[in-house]
Every structure is written in structure tokens, then in C-alpha cells.
Amino acid sequence: MTSTDKRLYLIDAYAMIFRGYFAFIKNPRISTKGLNTSAIFGFTNSLIELIKRDRPTHLAVVFDVGRTNVRHDDYADYKANRLETPEPILLAKPYINDILEAMHIPILGLEGYEADDVIGTIACKAEKQGYNVFMVTPDKDFAQLVTDKIKMYKPSSKGGDIEILGVEEVKAKYEIEDPKQIIDYLGMMGDAVDNIPGLEGVGEKTAKKFIQEFGSMENLLANTHQLKGKLKEKVEASAERGLLSKKLATILCDAPIEFIEEQYDLEVPDFEKVKEIFDELEFRRLYENLYRAFSNKEYVEELQDSDNHQPTTNNQNPVHKNGTMDLFASFEQLEQATTTKSTIAENDHIYQFIDNPKAQKILVSNLLKQKAVCFDTETTSLNELEAELIGMSFSYKKGLAYYIPISENREEAQETVEIFRPFFEDQNVLKIAHNLKYDYKVLQNYNIDVEGKIFDTMIAHYLLNPDGRHGMDYLSEMYLDYKPVSIETLIGKKGKNQLTLREVDIPTQTNYAAEDADVTFQLYELFAPQLAKENAEKLFYDVEMPLMKVLAKIELTGVKLDSNWLAKESIDLENDLKLLESKIFELSGEEFNMNSPKQLGEILFDKMQLDPKAKKTKTGQFATSEDVLQKLSSKHEIISSILEYRMLQKLKSTYVDALPGQIDKKDNRVHTTFAQTVAATGRLASVNPNLQNIPIRTLRGQQIRGAFVADEGKKIISADYSQIELRLIAEISGEQNMIKAFQNGEDIHASTAAKLFGIDLSEVSKTQRSQAKTVNFGIIYGQGAFALAEQTGLSRTEAKKMIDSYYETYPRLKEYMAEQVKKAQDLGFVETILGRRRHLKDINSSNFVVKAHAERNAVNAPIQGSAADIIKLAMIKIENELETQKLETKMLLQVHDELLFEAPIDEVETATTLIKKEMESAFETKVPLLVEVGVGDNWLEAH
DNA sequence: GCGAGGTA
DNA sequence: TACCTCGC
């Protein structure tokens, strides 16, 4: 082996363990013994991936040991901001030690020095001996050590690929001339995590500017006369702190530790020992991955050559050569192949591409014989409206998948798609996909309808664990212990240099696309029985799956926007903002950036001293949120101007200026996307753009709804459930006082106020009604006395009293809440009227805050979730009716308790009646569900 | 309370 | 990343 072949990898252990742990924070891996194995799994998986991908010749894992630290002598607060280490990470250490030992990987650490310094020292020493060194860490501090032979190896961020930073990459990324300047850069801007203070008033942008202008901390401090104003004062005042910061940011290269290369040879692991540990931790597929990482013959020979150790095991079977075997083995042969393999190394997978129409037809006839088939589409864009097919993959058996490349030529593409039409439109085969709505919409562009029974693994997992994450790669790692190829490995990072999948060769496309179908099929096999166990099949097949198609149609339809009005309003807002801004500058006696809460806080509280007891946020900044400012409005006239500025700025940036950019050129409409799996309560969310938060509260804001217009010859119909959540609380809890109020058609907030204050309905004042309304909402959103006090301006005791008398008014409500908490404690979950479950694992937590949070969810989730269930049912029924009655009316939006439609003028009456009827009867209740309908030329008029 | 998204 | 604000 020549010296240039020596590749040393130094792994920053704790950084990698933390990453692994937090990667799974939303649904942690818990073994049957109750051990949280997220950290161990995350670390070990990354390690194995690294070995598989890069085939290191030398490797070591570096830990921090002990407490003392050379940096503490300089600065007592160093790293004081680091949170206490979570328990699962502390528990992980011994397991990781055992695994590393079994893998024959050396563990380094030096008492009194940080892992950073050990890595730095070894890296420098190894470099001198001709090694190519890779520092495996996500921590940007290490960029300072990068040279021609020392590189940073940043592990993959979620879904992404690993990133290797050499000298050029570091220079480009941080806009510096020399990696060493990272030290000056960090010293200037500081680092909140490591509690490096940095220079006062210097953030990322200023630090970059300084580096370009002055090159180093010392040179900057020697030339502060070139700076101006506030910045000059601040930098000069904190010069000493800056120099100290630079020292703290420096990684040592001369820690007292030697680099003895023999100790770092990577050896073949003791597979048996590793397996024992993995078995205990219930890492199913990880062992296969490890085996595969070492199952390449050349690699093992290389490792064996490089040292004199005998491998502990030597049955290296080459991995199965997947993909492009000659056309055309019979399907039976291929299937045979996946069942007869026995050893793990052999039992890989068969991914086959099929580009000949004849073979494709055979595949289709084969697909039609199956009970369940998974499919996936590969496209040119994530935007379904412009996406063109690059290929499709199919799988109906673990380890076996087919890939169909599709021509760039639209006509040829359509021909290929037509071959598969019988499959997509078949009524019997269950069609499985991950995030099926996407594929559904793409296929709609090819005039294909996905019919028959469907199964979306993303939505299935959402029903099983609504609080978790549902990405395919994530689920694969979580449930299959298998990390699929990341798309970025194939086509590069996001950005202008990213290729499309079409630009990589067909075998590579096949490996990627077929794997997705394979993985999704395996997830289906896992989730389908789980849905039955969780009693979620009806909700899944009768609500969420049909709803998916309804949402797809809504998204494809889009909403028409009046872009002329928006353009005009943008100019008006701009003018109004300018006027307000100059008024504010005048009142404060200084010009500053109004959009920076930090600067605003300093002006109001440091300079103007508007509140000597000003509240701070958790990062030590002054809080300047609306409620805080509201309370100060009597102190100074500047406040009302600031509040108005904030409002107009929000309207302009978020709506008036942003919406026109989202208009689709082809049909002049905006097409939102409804996320069906993000809100844990069962609600939908709207993204790109979010059309569920269009203003309504203020007059000026409302005008924006006027820009959502009906097409010529049509009208907008808005239909919303009146007080659906409160009606459901009354219904579910059986609270008679509330039920009666609704049955009598009373104004529920006024009615609540009357009872709350013991007065007649006619005597209720505006303030009293508004307070009652706040309490009602507090109940809906699961808030406590604290939040209520915040919102009403009442004192904590008053708020508490208010809540107490609320419960006296509605006694069943309190009982109901207690029952829900009890249910969560007994069963581990609560559920909605349609059986949508929310698991509350923290309901018995010993941490008061965490437990209280779970308790609020126990009460709140069934209410919000049931309302979500009901409107989902209504949407499905309405869409069915519109279709069977062959009406032209289109559903445009769902805003939690409101539906928006666009109807031809001659259909308005029919549609209005139909919509109201279906919504009010979507689910049978004792408390009447009331729907208010409005019609107009735009959303403002209709609402 | 939960979402999305804008800005520094 | 933190903060703020829009909706329900």
C-alpha cells in the first residue's frame, strides 16, 4: 500500500451520538425492555454507513473524558450553555463502547482535553506521516484545521448526502481566504452553543465582512478607527472579549498524545460479538449492513494487507449483483431467486429495469395477478403541475422490484404509461405508494386515474403515530433498519448544479427507484396489520384515502387571484409603511431596522426606557411581541405606530407580495398543497402557499380576501361550521347547559358570559362576552390559567377564579376532562369520534411540565380531531355528490371549519343547498351542527 | 394549543 | 436559529 492510500477517519463521538439521538427525537427507538436506543442506533448506523461508503483503512472514535478542560482556565462560562446531556445518551456510552470494541475500533480520549483537541492533534500528526485525514463531525469549528490532506466529513443531514469539505469548499462556504481564518470568524461572531461570546454587535454578516476587509481579529482591532458609529464603539469596547473568543475557538494541534499508526488499523470486526450486542438492542437489519460493509473482497484484502492481523471471520460473499441482468429471465425465475437465498450477503435484492414494451406488458399482466402492488414515480420536478415522468417502479414482494424508464419525448412517454393504464385503473389490486397524492397528481397529467383500493404508507404511519415523522427514508431506518440511497448521492445537492434523475444512467436510476418501491412495499406489510390492531382501518380506508383524492382535485383546481389588485395594494402598503417608518424614526430619534426585533427592543427599552422591568426572551433579547407592546401603548405614542407598522409589513410580505409569485402561469391560479400528515390532531395544513391563514381579523387584512375571486360567470361560495368545536365539546361531554344553549340557538359566548357572571343574557356587556369567548377558546385550545391570564389581562388569581366558575357553569366539562386524562393514563391514548388515536406517552411523566402538556392534549385532541374528522367526512360526501350530479362546482379550499367553492352562476342555488345539507349531516349528533353559507364574487363578499 | 412563513 | 404574527 502506498502512503497516498492511507485514509484515517477520526470520529467526533459525542457530536455523532447527539445527532443520532435527535434524529429520532420525534419517535424514539425504544427496545422492548424500555431502553431508548436512538443514540446508539444513530451513531452505529452512521459508522457503518461511513465504512461502507468510504472504506477507511484507519479509523478511531474520539470521546471527551473527564470534566477538566484547558479552556476553563481562560473562561469559566465556556460551554456553560450546553444543555444537560439527555439520559439516553449517557446510557448509550457503555453500549457504544462494547460495539466499538467488538468491531476492533480504537477509542481515544485525553483527560483534561476536549475531543476537538485530540482530533486536531492526531490529524496534524497523521498528516505529517502522509495520511489523508477525515474529521467526521458536523461541527463547523473543525473547518479551521482543513488543509490539502485534512478534510472535514460532515455526516448527512436529514435526507441529504454527506458533505466533504476540503480547502476550496471551506473557502467558498465561509467566504474566506484561508481555513485558518475560521478561528477569527468564529471569534468575531461568537457561538451561542459553545458560549463563545464574540465581539459585541457582530453577527454572521458583519463577521464575514470584517474577515474580507481586515483578514484577522488582531488586524481588525488594530484598525477600529476605520469603523463608524455604534459598531465602532461596540467593537472597541469588547476587544478583549474578542481576543479571548478567538482563543476559545482555536482547536489545539499539540495536545500530549502520540499518533501510533498501527493502533488505528481498521480490522474486520468480530461479527459474532457484534451480533450479540445488536440482538440485545433489537437492531434487526443493522447487522446485515455491517456485514455488507465488509463483504467486499478487495476491501477485506486491502485491510488484511495493511496489517498482520487475521480476520476474525472470513466468509466474504460478494454482494449480489443487482440490476441489469440480461433480459429476460422469466418472472418466476426472478421470484425464485429472492426466496432461495439464505445467507444475508446473498439475500440482497433483485432490481430489474424493463425498457422493452413487450416485457412491460408481461409485467402488467403479472401485476394484475397480485393482491397488492406498490408503485412509485420518478419525475423531473417536485411541483406536480410541471412534473414529467422519468420512470415508474413496482414491487409486490420484499426484495424484488422493477423499474420502467420513461422517455423524455412526451408522446413516447404517454405510450409507455398507456401500457400500465390497465394496472392503475384496475379495481381489484390494492395500489400502494408512499405519499400517493403526489404520484396521483403526476399521473393525472397523463390522464391516468388511480382507481380501486389504495394504500398510502405515509398516511398509514400518520394514523399509527400522528406525532411522529413520516418520510420514507426515515421510516425505513426506523422500522426496517435500512438506509435507502439518498437522492442527493445521485444528483447532488439542491441548487443550480443539481441534476435530474434522468441525467444518471439507467442502472443507477433502477437501483434508486426500485429500492423505493421495495422499501415502501415492506413498510406496507408492516403497517397494514398495525392499522387493524389500532382499530384504524375504517378511518384509513373510508376517510383518509378517499380524502386524499379529494385533496388532489382541490390542489389541481387552484384558486383565481386578482393580481392587479395585489400589485396596487403592494404600492399602497409601501407608501403607508414609509410614512409610518419616518414617524417612528422621528419619535425615537434614531434610524434603525424596524424589521429587527433585536434592534427595536434596544431602542424601546435601552434607549427610551419605556419599561424598566421589560421582559426578556429566553435568549436574553427584549421581548417585543404584540401583547408586550400592547401593554405599553399608553406609555408612548410610538407604540401604536410600531404595531401598525408590524401589521402592514406582515400583510405586505406574507400575502400581498408573496401570493402573486405563487400564481401558476398556465391557468393564472394558485395551487396550494394540503399536507395530510403533519398536524397531530388530524387537521390538515396548507403549504406553498399557506391559504389557511389569509387575514380576517383587521379591516385592512380582510381586503386581501377580496383578491380571491371567482372566474367569469362563476361565484364563490363559502360555507363554515358555526362553533363546531364548542358544539362537539358539548356533544362529547354531554354537558346539558351547553347543549341547551346550542339547541336554543343562543350566542354561545354571550350565553357563557351570562352564566359565568350570573346575569341575564340581555345584560351581557361586550367585555364580558369577550372574556367568556376567551375562556371558551382556551378550552378548545387546551390552554391553562396562565395562558388565559396572559390573554385577558386578568391577574393569575382572577383567571383561576374565572376558570373555576366556568367549571361550575359547565360541570360535566370538568368531569369529561378528568375522564380523558384517566383514559390516556389507562390506555395510553385518547381518540376522536371516528377512532383517530393520539398516543400520549408522557401522560405519566414525572416532569410536571411535560405531564401537564400531555394532559392538555388528552382533552384537546379528541375535540379538535373530531372537528377535523367531521369536515373530512363532509368533503368526501360533497365531492361524491358533485360528481354523481355532474355539477361543475369545484371545491377550492378547506380552512379547518370552512369550505370554499367556485360555482357557475346557474349552479349556485343547487350547490349551496347541497353543501349545507352534506356538511350539517356529515355526522349525526344531538347538538345540531350549523353551517353558514355565503355567496359572492370573491372570498370577502362570500364570507 | 397547532400549524406556515417572513425576516434578521 | 430565534422571534414574530397570521389563521383556526
Q: Which of the pair, A132 or A344, is modelled with greater confidence?
A: A132
Instruction: Evaluate whether residue A678 is within a structural domain.
Output: yes
Name the nearest CA neighbour of A642 among A701, A592, A695: A592
Q: How confident is the model at residue A143 (pLDDT cuts 50, 70, 90)?
A: very high
Evaluate whether residue A909 is within a structural domain.
yes
Question: What value does the mean pLDDT take over residues A134-158?
Answer: 88
Q: For residue A619, which nucleotide's C1' is closest to its Cα?
A: C2
Q: Which three cell numbers stand for residue A567?
A: 400589485
Cβ-based neighbours of A175, under 8 Å, separated by 6 or more: A208, A211, A212
Distance CA A371, CA A920 (A): 38
Query: Which residues is A656 bridged to in the sheet?
Result: none
Q: Considering A788, A814, A847, which residue would you say is the last residue of a domain?
A: A847
Which single residue has its CA nearest the C1' atom of nucleotide B8? Answer: A596
**Chain B positions with a protein C-beta closer than 7 Å:** 1-8
Sequence length of chain A is 943
pLDDT 10s digits, A736-794? 999 999 999 999 999 999 999 999 999 999 989 988 998 898 888 877 777 887 777 77
CA distance A940 to A311: 75
Tally the domains of chain A.
5
**A728 and A868 belong to one structural domain:** yes
Say if residues A653 and A689 touch (Cβ distance below 8 Å). Answer: no
User: Rounded CA gap, A20 and A27, in Å?
Assistant: 12
Same domain, A393 and A485: yes
Name the more confident of A431 and A341. Answer: A431
DSSP for A346-392, please give it. T---EEEE--SHHHHHHHHHHHTT-SEEEEEEEES-SSTTT--EEEE
Q: How far, in Å, is the CA of A895 from the C1' of nucleotide C8?
A: 8
Using only C-alpha atoms, chain A has a radius of gyration, in whole angstroms, of 31
Residue A583 DSSP label? H
In a domain, A228, yes or no: no
| Residue A860 Cβ under 7 A from any strand B atom | yes
CA of A696 to C1' of C5 (A): 13
Residue A430 placed within a domain: yes
CA-to-C1' span, A696 to C7 (A): 8
Residue A589 has phi, psi (to 5 degrees) of 75, 20
- The number of beta carbons lying within 10 Å of the beta carbon of residue A164 is 12
Beta bridge partners of A670: A559, A663
Distance A502 CA to C3 C1' (A): 41
pLDDT band at A269 (very low <50, low <70, confident <90, very high): very high
CB A405 within 8 A of CB A353: yes
CA distance A764 to A522: 61
Average pLDDT over residues A352-363: 95
* A618-642 burial: b if 16+ Cβ within 10 Å, else e: eeeebebeeebbeebeeeeebbebb
Cell triple for A744: 336554543
CATH code (residue A937):
3.30.70.370
How many CA atoms lie within 13 Å of A912's alpha carbon, on the beta-carbon side? 16
Distance, in Å, from the CA atom of A513 to the CA atom of A675, rounded to the nearest integer, reads 23
| Residue of A654, A674, A656 lying closest to A549 (CA atoms) | A674
A791 touches strand C (CB under 7 A): no
Interatomic distance A565 CA / C5 C1' (Å): 23
Q: Do A529 and A636 sit in the same domain of this protein?
A: no
Domain contains A397: yes
- DSSP-H helix ranges across A499-617: 506-533, 537-538, 545-557, 563-588, 597-601
Residues (623-642, chain A) with CB within 7 Å of strand C atoms: 623-626, 628-629
Question: Residue A696 CB closer than 7 angstroms to strand C?
Answer: yes
User: Which nucleotide's C1' sits nearest to the alpha carbon of A622?
Assistant: C3
Are A819 and A922 in a shared domain? no
Q: Are both A447 and A465 inside the same structural domain? A: yes
Percent of chain A with pLDDT over 90: 59
Distance A925 CA to C2 C1' (A): 44
Nearest nucleic acid nucleotide to A857, CA to C1' distance: B1
- Could you tell me if residue A757 is inside a domain? yes
**A564 and A596 fall within a common domain:** yes
Residue A901 and residue A833 in one domain:
no
A223 touches strand B (CB under 7 A): no
Alpha-carbon distance A885 to A732, whole Å? 34
> How sure is the predictor about A38, in pLDDT bands with cuts at 50, 70 and 90?
confident
- For A769, the grid coordinates are 362576552
| Amino acid whose CA is nearest the C1' of C6 | A693
Q: How far is the CA of A495 from the C1' of B6 (A)?
A: 21
Last residue of a domain, one of A635, A654, A670: A670
The integer distance in angstroms from the CA atom of A607 to the C1' atom of C4 is 22
A898: CB within 7 A of chain C nucleic strand: yes
CATH no. for residue A470? Answer: 3.30.420.10
Residues A359 and A490 occupy one common structural domain: yes
User: SS3 letters for A313-354?
Assistant: CCCCCCCCCCCCCCCCCCHHHHHHHHHHCCCCCCCCCEEEEC
Mean pLDDT (whole number) for A63-74: 65
Measured CA to C1', the nucleotide nearest A787 is B1
Whole domain around residue A513: which residue ranges?
A: 331-534
Nucleotide nearest to A786 (CA to C1'): B1
Q: Show the cell assigned to A20.
A: 443520532
A876 part of a folded domain:
yes
Does residue A914 share a domain with residue A831? no
> Residue A73's domain is classified under what CATH number?
3.40.50.1010
CATH number, domain containing residue A807: 1.10.150.20
**Positions in chain C where some atom is under 7 Å from a protein CB:** 2-8
Q: What is the pLDDT of residue A339?
A: 45
From A643, A670, A697, give the residue that closes a domain. A670
Lowest mean pLDDT among A36-40, A526-530, A692-696: A36-40
Q: Do both A397 and A501 map to the same domain?
A: yes
**Which residue do the cell numbers 400522528 mark?**
A466
- A134 and A55 inside one domain: yes
Q: Is residue A292 part of a domain?
A: no
Q: Which residue is nearest to nucleotide B1 (CA to C1')?
A: A781
- Residues A887 and A752 placed together within one structural domain of the fold: no
